[in-house]
Amino acid sequence: MSAPTVYDVAEQADVSIATVSRVFRKPDAVREATRERVMAVARKLGYVPSGSARGLASRSTGVLGLCFPDYDDSTAGVDDGEITLYSDEIIRGMERAARRHGYALLIAASLAGGTESLVAKVAGRVDGFAVLARTVPTEELEIVSRRLPVVMLAGPREMDHLDHIEVANTDGQRQLTRHLIEDHGRTRLAFVGGAEDSPDAQARFHGFQLACQDAGLPVPDAPDARGDLTQADGRAATEALLARPGPAPEAILFANDQMAVGALRVLEHRGLRVPDDIAVTGFDGIPLTRLTRPPVTTVRQPAGRLGENAVDLLVQRLADPTRAPESVMLPVTVVRRESCGCGD
């Protein structure tokens, strides 16, 4: 029988992979009830985190790392069982590819105030690592990339000497917005973006602007509201938009799925029908969007492939450190569901 994995613990404890990682790495950052549930499942399964004893006799550790922001909604009072994080899909893709290449995977979620020390710890324990955009200060990455291969995930290419993978955020949001305008006749649109320093959210807003320009609609200079990509932020943004004077939007486009899911609760509570009164769309394509009422129209990005390609690039760089850096753009797919007026 194979040894239990972090995925087994996450599934049986009904939490995200990132939460299992935090329970063992920084238990005080996890709510007591969640921590006890995870530990009980770990004890039952006989799960322990893998060590990193390899590399004592050589410079190779046999481990690849992933650094990403902590987007968990648990701090906003949302149970982990309600969501499947975008980062989880990347982790799964990286883990599949890492196994294929004979590597283990070290997962590091950057909790508040800890990015610099986190990177230093990870860099000393891995052969190379992937970093989601804006997770780690540029100057820190410059130092680490002199010692280890680094692949940047998502966002525009800011460091030409590093391998880089992103998805077609602008094109996907442009297609989705044009669908609402051309196929459903929605012209009074509101866009809820992410933080100003989020490159993915900014790229998606740019796609929204281009679609408005294509249709001859007013092109906004900034999103109608912003959030930190959680369900709680989606609820707050929706409340704010509905409180504005004048007619309500005919459609609200969110920079990610979690905010869109949060919006559905507010609209239902207000007695507004989706999509009859207001259409709602998201971005990312997390599995939760299939289960909401109504299912959410979204742009599915290949998060699993993002993780797999990151490992492939790291392995190639380890085999040939002198090869030219690559920049890869992965396509996205508009998924039309009931929340915009389409059937699933």
Mean pLDDT split into 10-residue runs, the chain, 344 residues: 77 88 77 89 73 45 81 45 63 92 83 54 80 77 81 84 94 98 97 89 96 97 93 96 96 96 96 97 93 96 93 94 93 97 79
Question: For residue 67, what pLDDT is reported?
Answer: 84
Q: What are phi and psi of 299, to 5 degrees?
A: -115, 115
Q: How far apart are CA 197 and CA 182, in angstroms?
A: 31
Domains of the chain: 1-49 (1.10.260.40), 59-167+302-330 (3.40.50.2300), 169-301+334-340 (3.40.50.2300)
| Structure token pair of residue 297 | 């129209």
| Inter-residue contact 70 to 16 (CB < 8 Å) | no
Question: For residue 228, what pLDDT is reported?
Answer: 86
- The residues near 228 (Cβ < 8 Å, ≥ 6 apart) are 194, 195
Question: For residue 225, what pLDDT is reported?
Answer: 97
Q: How far apart are CA 235 and CA 5, in angstroms?
A: 34
Single pTM value for the model: 0.75
Q: How far is C-alpha 109 from the geometric centre of its chain's CA atoms?
A: 12
Residue 236 CB-half CA count within 13 A = 12
Question: For residue 253, what pLDDT is reported?
Answer: 98
DSSP 113: T
